[in-house]
Chains A and B, each alone.
Chain A
């Protein structure tokens, strides 16, 4: 490889802080294996910097809008720069939760029953009557989330109809459309897929047991508040099913290099896909690095392999 690796972190999304931490972690890991890394924020100076520095590969570690929705990768393609991760088109599908659910469902994968509705629908038809219809159809408890974004921002678990309006407001504060899904009880796991040197590999599922029962922002980013089991305490068939589901989700969404599927393995062994992330978190408390460690992979070596894979692939042509 010629030139340094540009790690992109920060940006203006709600997950800026998480992205900065992911970027720092990956940059440190890459440096530890001898890779020259520049960490760049996404701002008005970025394009000029990329033009002058001509990094050999860009490693986007941007979470949330603009980082995960594919737009920035479009710009990388315009600049003719190879990058780690999925194409803009695949990102767009994965980043939009209702669209991704439809794609997954069409491929025969289970996602919780749900409905995505914009604020206007509630305003025009009346919130109370629509929410009642949702509860009639989906039952309780429910999960309410913005259709875009991660880190559980704006996400609520609702056990009572009267709590639903507040959860809707919380989700709509992050975006114009909210997704309401049936809550699936079971073992919560994150399953990462990585493709170092183009060889797809499913990492061991990481089981998530948050102290408060809800894997919210604080539980995700406060070390000590969540117990992780890597590998997850699943039966062998359940583990296999979870890993197969993650690989299938990665494939049908057209993802590349790395992804993480958030799944629930129900008591009956059924695997439910909650979300698939094209730009999984890489912070000190994130799941993919834990999964890599459980698989005996060094994070720096893994990231270097991903970078070299992207370099060998070269720039995508738009």
Chain B
């Protein structure tokens, strides 16, 4: 007897027809699955971007937090203002922003749930579905994901060893205009770029700003790593020279603690008002507890000395990475030499595909992020995206970094051996059109070392 046959199958998700169009591309990913292995201690992960918070003076932080709760607990555990705690905003303008040359009033600052929420709010108030955002190629993956969440159309702009190329930016603005669209803003990370590891010098910043001014283009300056320059130089923010045309996004995730999720945006009056209302609509207010913790830390602890300690720590790791790449990686491999921040961008030789190589790397117990995750839409399929990968040196100890690069070198060599047999590889034949610009699935989650 045959069992009764249903007219429709099951999709195992009763809401499959109900999702918004912006969820297109939010799928399980082979690459994401491989990062599950990378979280194991046997694997040297050069993939994640977790700051080395073990270097923080945890006892001092604990004392700070204990005193905060005892002395101002009713404020720390209460709702706060949508714009963010005034005391913290005062400290940001008095202590933090002057280090990058920005002189602003506390009213100019909106505190956010990590700088990620700042990017979300900016995109929310400026970009309608289908509108264009200009971003570097490659660009910060989770910014691209935010842009995707608002169904923006990301147009990538070329970088060189000095970061965003001004002429390319001007060309992109023109090309977008010729296509009958308007670029709503350009998103840039001028200092110690994630993932590219490059930094715009003062002249380059001026040129970029000049292009933006001429084009009437809003510039979003994302600066989580600006204080983490290894030669002690803190690059002057673009916002320091342009108040109306630049939204400056800052973060305490790398200078203090990402677990607190405190970031901020410095914005001119009109924009700021909208950001505050948008933030209230989104999270009501940034967490008072986290804000007051950051404020207490800034005002009672030698926070800038800690930043200097982080610089030393990360410089040693950067050096371990650069030295071992020079020692081990096969000829023809190139990489950027970051002067600060967390990342180096590596370009593989011989037409290798970093995404296709990842399973072999995981087998060899080393992990990285394939370059395609840092590009949007069709740019993911470009040779430059596919031949690239990001290595991070922020979390593993120097010896682990050396071991990881040694393993990676063997993986690259084996993959070169494979392509010498089969030729440089094309797009995987079963690969469909890259699904939207949703990028999260091709890169690790935030909690990977």
Give chain A's interface residues, CB within 8 Å of chain B: 12-18, 20, 43, 119, 122-123, 127, 151, 153-160, 162-163, 165-170, 172-174, 204, 207, 209, 212, 214, 216-218, 220-231, 233, 235-236, 239, 284-285, 290, 294
Contact = CB atoms under 8 A, between A and B. Distances in A.
Interface in B44-66: none
Given A14-B362, A43-B40, A122-B422, A167 B28 contact: no
B164 to A, nearest CB: 33
A164 to B, nearest CB: 8
Q: Chain B's interface: helix, strand, loop or mixed, by majority?
A: loop
Contact of A224 (B12, B363, B427): B12
Interface stretch (B31-39, B84-92, B138-146, B187-195): B31-39
With most chain B CB atoms within 10 A of its CB, the pick from A119, A159, A160, A218 is: A218
Interface in B1-55: 1-3, 5-6, 8-13, 15-16, 19, 27-30, 32-34, 36-37, 40, 42-43
A172 B418 contact: yes
B430 interface: yes
With most chain B CB atoms within 10 A of its CB, the pick from A14, A225, A236, A294 is: A14
A217 B358 CA distance: 15
B69 interface: no
Contact of A294 (B3, B33, B357, B363): B3
B37 to A, nearest CB: 5
B16 A165 contact: no
Given A122-B421, A162-B426, 18 more contacts: A13-B37, A14-B33, A14-B362, A16-B40, A17-B32, A17-B36, A119-B421, A156-B429, A156-B430, A169-B422, A173-B358, A217-B28, A222-B28, A223-B16, A231-B3, A233-B5, A235-B2, A236-B2
B106 interface: no
Interface of B: 1-3, 5-6, 8-13, 15-16, 19, 27-30, 32-34, 36-37, 40, 42-43, 353, 356-360, 362-363, 365, 415, 417-423, 425-430, 432
With most chain A CB atoms within 10 A of its CB, the pick from B40, B42, B430 is: B430
A306 to B, nearest CB: 23
A170 B356 contact: yes
A229 B36 CA distance: 30
A261 to B, nearest CB: 18
Contacts of B5: 229, 231, 233
B28 to A, nearest CB: 4
Contact of B16 (A43, A224, A233, A284): A224
Nearest to A162: B426
A226 B9 CA distance: 9
List 5 tightest A-B contacts by C-beta distance, closest first.
A224-B16, A221-B28, A17-B36, A163-B429, A227-B9
Given A14-B34, A217-B28, A222-B27, A165 B10 contact: no
14 contacts: A12-B37, A16-B37, A20-B36, A43-B40, A123-B420, A166-B427, A217-B33, A223-B11, A228-B10, A229-B5, A231-B2, A236-B2, A285-B12, A294-B3
Contacts of A220: 28
